[in-house]
Chains A and B, each alone.
Chain A
Amino acid sequence: MPALCRFAVACFGAALFALHATAAVPAPPSPVGPAGETTLRTFFSTYCRECHGPDQQKGDRRFDELALTVTQPDHLLDLQDIIDQLNLGEMPPAKAKQHPDTPEVRAAIDLLTQLVADGQSRFASTGAQTVLRRLNRQEYINTVGDLFGLNMTMFDPTTRFPRDEMVMHMDKIGDVLKTSGFLLAQYLDAADQVVEKAFATTARPAEQTWRFTGNFSQQPELRYSHGKVFQYRYLCLYETTTSDKHEGAYGPLLQFAEGVPADGLYEIRVKAEAKFRKNPYDPNFFGTDPAMPFRLGVVPGNAKVGALHLPQPIEPLLGEVVVKDDAPEWYTFRVWLDAGFTPRFTFPNGMLSVRNAYARILRQYNQLFPEEVRRTTGIVESRVVVMRYGQLPHIRIHEVEIRGPLAAPWPPASQQAVLGHQPFAPERTRDLVHAFASRAYRRPAHADEIDRLMTVVASRRQQGRTPFEAMKDGIKAILCSPAFLYLAEPATEPAVERTLPAYALAARLSYFLWSTMPDAELNRLAASGELLHADVLVAQARRLIASPRSSAFVNGFLDSWLNLRSLGDMAPDRGTFVRYYAQNLESAMKQETRLFTRDLIDRNDSIVRFLDSDYTFANRPLARLYGLEDAVDPATGHEFHRLALKTPQRGGLLGQASILTVSANGIETSPVIRGVWLLENILGTPPAPPPDNVPPIDPDIRGAKSMREILTKHRDNPSCFECHRKIDPLGFALENFDPIGAWRTRYGQGIAIDASGELPGGQTFQDVAGLKRVLVTRQAQFARMLTERLLTYACGRRLEALDRPAVDKILEATGPDQYRFRDLLEQVVLSRTFRSK
């Protein structure tokens, strides 16, 4: 078989090496500089030349002519091969006459690694230009919502879209985001869904009222006991929605499973009371904070998606109220509901598992129960007994009334978005399509584009659709056009003058700060060209930042910069970190970092606060994680408060639980992973990936060996040392924080934690507080990293060497004021890089 022969040759031959070594064309200057080149050349000629030089080319490798600048991908392979051999200590071989000492090997490895990194960034280059970028999933949702004036809280036409491709956690990079047949097929389906939804209501819906009293059958698990004890008089909420068995975690109105008849605003009135918040039982049974008043929430549910007493993919918290103890009262919510959705009640600070509580209460507080039931066993009867005789904390709902849709505009906004203020008439089709396409394409639509859309309309007419339906089909085609799906930035040749045209600039600004299409004002300024003036541009940036819609920037940028998007992907172990689930810490953690960032923008404070601060934002559960629960009044404990921090360990991002959780794996912490995370996302100097064939660290948590001892051994290996001396001290400084960010002084096995360290520059610190002091002195480096991330996020491309002057300029403008965050954002928008393709 020919394939076999080729394999044999290939495997032992390695025939191609020498070919690439010859530098026929003058190479660009080496990234390691002349000194670095000399070091490498000397190293090769001293230790390698005998076997891999002009006289001999063992393994077909020759190093005296090796190119020290990577211009072809093959060079990467060659250089990496040398690095590997040096790392493994296999070259020079034992029988060689001369051997380099450890510092020499380290220096060579370090230089070669720089060459590889330089080469890689060159191959990833897009010529310092943004490559035609498609909308990512979030942008698609936001844009469709704005185009049609649709409320997207409960409507997600993108659930089957493939995940967006990312680099550096960024889902906005043009050359990386892909379009595939799968995605296009989904675009076609989504367009259909969106347009049909926009036109779903055909007659003005009348306001209706629905009342529900009694006959509350909730879910199979509770049917028997609720019937027996309450005769189905109440909906009872026991558990928080992050529980794992969901017994009384959702209070569905099963009599209203079909949901509301039309999209709109509804008033929901609930007569409810908090029962047994004060009870004789150990609060640890429930994992709740008994000092906090009970809260009642409303989330939407859709019976077509699945059972209403279980979690569903779309269930944002639409509203919540504090419920009074032991006195039924009426509470009112006004919430948006899409047609087919029914409200479900939740208990955000309910217990984690009522199912486990029945037997435990009965066992531990047996004497509190009447004698005849004390010997009850089995879940079914225990449930009945504890509900009847015990004091199980829960929210009890007596009555519900729903009224709506309230004062709905007619025709709905989504139809006005297409039809304007007049009813449809077939002869208006072309105008309607033209107007809508011009909004969707973020610039005036071209005549040939409209012609093609009208061809769709015409062929649909031929296929028997009414003029109105055919017009809708034309609108669907708009949503599938590349002019809508891509942020197109027309070519401007020659490449030196790459200023964005006004419409493209408006789109860039809007997708940067709002993650959606430009609004009417931006469009107007683009049409007149005024947006191209710096003062107009910065005024618009200010307007967008000041709007609450810029929360899209805060959320999107934090997801991209700090990878907050992945918080919870490595779910903390339910056994060890009960409170993460019992108190819904995950969402609180995210909220803290978002509020912290929002506050920096609003106050235009320095980004140095990210490195260290004497305050943070927390609700009571999160404050409790930080050991500060007394600082938050239980009565408003579910709200976030600005908290002064009394100790220096917690301030800044490095003390925020979101960061500490996302940089751990939910089970244990690794100084290496957190160290790398810091280098990448705070210092902006990611380390090279680990060399091949270096044995990985295989955690063994049985014995007395601490991670520090294991890693110290790892660092004895010179090839590991070079990077780990940069990585490990940063990671060790965070070891006082457990995998969900709680402070600890010992590991689980009782070993004391040593968080001290020495950075490669020689600065030493005792713990994270000391490290933060060092980082604050390096704020310029942090500011550069953050500026580069902002530009990457804003422009949808990786930055390259050519962008350096633009970054320098931003830093010069903002440095004297310690890089205030809003100043930084404005300077980013004003920069050459942002305003160029």
Chain B
Amino acid sequence: MSAPAPVVNRRFFLRAAGVTLALPLFESLTGRVLGASRALGSQPGAAIGATRPQRMVCVGNMLGFYQPEFFPTQTGRNYDLPSLLQPLAPHQSDFSLFSGLDHGVKGGHFAIHSYLSGVRSVDAKAMPEGNISVDQRAAESVGGATRFPSLTIGSEDGLHGGCMMCWTRSGTRVPPIPGPRELFRRLFITDNENDRRRSDDRFALQGSILDAVNGDAQSLGRQLGRRDQDKLDEYLTSVRDVERQMELGRRWAGVPKPKPGMPEPANTGFVSDLPVLYDLIALALQTDSTRIATLEIAGGFEASAFGLRKDYHALSHHGQVRENIEGLLKLEKYQMEQFARFLAKLKSLEDGAGTLLDHTMVLFGSGMGNANAHTNNNLPLVFAGGGFKHGEHRVYPAQGLGRVPLCNLYVSMLQRFGVEVNRFGLGTATMRGLDLA
């Protein structure tokens, strides 16, 4: 008959969480009330006050990092940097490195999408907040304070539709903005008079369509059974979501977009686009266009740009062959260099009394542990900025009862962002040992 749903591999964490997985497994959960904090916030475009807001940036790749060159052998402070971390040397005191953290999931490529949520989409039904990712959870609290509650950037190319890192509460993947050109236009190109009129008219049309179809859904619901009604709730929730988006769009439509201070970039392939994307993210944060950004470095990352014959995925299946590993390290090192450049950039930008990095939490890593073996444990993770005390390589137990769920880090990040939560995904507490500076 039907294939069994994948085993709930997270029992330990769940038990740890004291989460009673009582119903509503049978029910559609999407009709749940959205976070109350979702209401529209401050006045659009108002200057940020003296207290600088926290920002959050999460970067992920599809295939992880070659572990023997990623994890240091020493712990604590002043550890020797393995070759993959060398590009981060100038920032060693600005980031924390973790060993032994993961979500307890399995599935290789098919589990990496749990990177920022801790929950695979197939298991989402059983979780109180589904498989919402940390960025989207934070974005729910932003409301209308910024033009974009969050920006999801990256490609859907490559294996199995890319990294698929960002998920909403209703279990829907947030589709990424594909390239620097599209990102630039969204951030900085203001509609002309004609476009404005057209978009006003579109708002008007869509508003009246939503009224009509909302009525259709109500009347259809009356003819349906309970299960179907639950399903139809998804539709009604979607109507409210779109109305909210339109409201936000209307509010911001009259506010001119910031000046970019750079010309419109072209899309030239993911490898060469990567530094441009990082620059645009920094600009987006700096101009308070958004406070949350994610970047997905997917399989479309062209190995040919490095003169390599095999592609990224092929190299990740290195089979311990030295030549493959060296090729793979080239690609991974490049990603690390660009990330280091991004940190340097955030550090160089003034933000209130400190730097932009002081007010930006940056997570860099992957939902893949060891791509050669398709594992999703002991994930490579670098966590920088945000005003935390950094500089250490922290090692957590890789197995046994003392395990710490990676989601605890997300609890810490959410609290730092200003979201009042004590748990998130599989996380039940803030990250042990991660203190504010």
**Interface residue ranges, A against B (CB under 8 Å):** 1-4, 6-12, 14-17, 72-74, 76-77, 80-81, 84, 116-117, 120-121, 123-127, 129, 131-132, 160, 162-163, 165, 167-168, 174-175, 178-185, 188, 191-192, 244, 446, 448-449, 452-453, 455-456, 459-460, 463, 473, 476-477, 480-483, 485-486, 488-491, 493, 566, 569-571, 573-575, 665-668, 680, 684, 686, 688-690, 692-693, 696-702, 788, 792, 798-801
Q: Find chain A residues with CB under 8 A from B321 CB.
A: 701-702
Return chain B residues, CB-CB under 8 Å to A698.
Answer: 370, 372-373
B304 adjacent to A244 (CB under 8 Å)? yes
* Minimum distance in angstroms from B267 CB to a CB of chain A: 9
B6 at the interface (CB under 8 A from A): yes
Chain B positions within 8 Å of A569 at CB level = 159-160
**Is A180 a contact partner of B314 (Cβ separation < 8 A)?**
no
Chain B residues 4 to 19 lying within 8 A of chain A, measured CB to CB, are 4-9, 11-12, 14-18
Chain A residues, Cβ within 8 Å of B168 = 180-182
Give min CB distance, B24 to chain A, whole Å.
10
Does B234 count as interface, using CB distance less than 8 angstroms? Answer: yes
25 A/B residue pairs, CB under 8 Å, sorted by A: A3-B428, A12-B401, A74-B21, A80-B7, A116-B4, A120-B4, A121-B4, A178-B234, A179-B235, A180-B234, A182-B168, A183-B172, A192-B205, A456-B209, A459-B208, A473-B205, A482-B216, A486-B232, A488-B224, A569-B159, A667-B317, A688-B4, A698-B372, A798-B1, A800-B1
For the complex, give the distance between the alpha carbons of A528 and B142 in Å: 55
Residue of B234, B241, B245, B313 contacting most chain A CB atoms (<10 Å): B234
B114 at the interface (CB under 8 A from A): no
Contacting pair A124 B5 (CB below 8 A): yes
Question: Contacting B422 at CB < 8 Å: which of A3, A162, A180, A699?
Answer: A3
Complex Cα–Cα for A631 and B314 (A): 34
Q: Which residues of B contact A126 (CB under 8 A)?
A: 227
B22 within 8 A of A: yes
State whether A482 touches B212 (Cβ < 8 A).
no
CB distance from B12 to the nearest CB of A (A): 8
What 10 pairs between A and B have smallest CB-CB spacing? A181-B241, A7-B429, A701-B319, A180-B172, A132-B228, A77-B11, A698-B373, A491-B225, A73-B21, A184-B238
> What B residues does A15 contact at CB under 8 A?
18
Please name the residue on chain A nearest to B2 by beta carbon: A798
In the complex, are the beta carbons of A480 and B310 less than 8 A apart?
Answer: no
A127 in contact with B319 (CB, 8 Å): no
Given contacts A6-B428, A124-B2, contact A77 B15 (CB under 8 A): yes
A168:B3 contact, CB within 8 angstroms: yes
Give every chain B residue within 8 A of A665 (Cβ-Cβ): 313, 317
Which chain A residues lie closer than 8 Å to B215 at the CB level? 448, 452
Considering only residues 373-426 of chain B, those with a C-beta below 8 Å from chain A are: 373-375, 399, 401-403, 408, 411, 422-423
Please determine whether B220 and A488 come into contact, CB atoms closer than 8 angstroms: yes
Tell me, yes or no, whether B92 is within 8 Å of chain A by CB.
no
The 8 Å CB contact of B227, one of A131, A165, A490, A668, is A131
Interchain CB contact under 8 A, B429 and A3: yes
Q: Would A689 and B6 be within 8 Å (CB), given that A699-B319, A702-B320 are in contact?
A: yes
Asked if B224 contacts A702 (CB within 8 A), the reply is no
Q: Is B305 engaged at the interface, CB distance under 8 Å to the other chain?
A: no
CA distance A184 to B234 in the complex (A): 10
B213 CB-CB contact with A under 8 Å: yes
Give the chain B neighbours of A668 by CB distance below 8 A.
317, 319
Please determine whether A80 and B373 come into contact, CB atoms closer than 8 angstroms.
no
Q: How near does chain A come to B415, taking the closest CB pair, in angstroms?
A: 8
Task: Give A184 to B160 CA distance when docked, in angstroms.
Answer: 24
Q: B219 touching A163 by the CB < 8 A rule?
A: no
Q: Which residue of B lies closest to A170 (CB)?
A: B2
Q: Does B430 contact A (CB under 8 A)?
A: yes
Any A CB within 8 A of the CB of B106: yes
Q: For chain B, residues 190 to 248, give those with C-beta under 8 angstroms from any C-beta of chain A.
A: 201-202, 204-206, 208-213, 215-217, 219-220, 223-225, 227-228, 231-232, 234-235, 237-239, 241-242, 244-245
Nearest-Cβ distance from residue A574 to partner chain B, whole angstroms: 7
CB distance from B83 to the nearest CB of A (A): 20
A7 to chain B: which residues have CB within 8 Å?
A: 16, 408, 428-429, 432
Whole-angstrom CA separation of A453 from B402 in the bound complex: 60
> What are the residues of chain B within 8 A of A680 when measuring CB–CB?
3
Chain A nearest CB from B172 CB (Å) reads 4
Contacting pair B225 A180 (CB below 8 A): no
Q: A16-B15, A80-B7, A131-B227 are in contact. Are A180 and B212 (CB under 8 A)?
A: no
Task: Answer whether A6 and B18 are a contact pair too, CB < 8 Å, given A480-B209, A800-B1.
Answer: yes
Cα of A9 to Cα of B20 in the assembled complex, Å = 15
B289 within 8 A of A: no
Min CB gap B348→A, angstroms: 34
Q: How far is the CA of A667 from the CA of B370 in the complex (A)?
A: 16
Name, among B2, B313, B375, the residue most crowded by chain A CB atoms within 10 Å (CB to CB).
B2
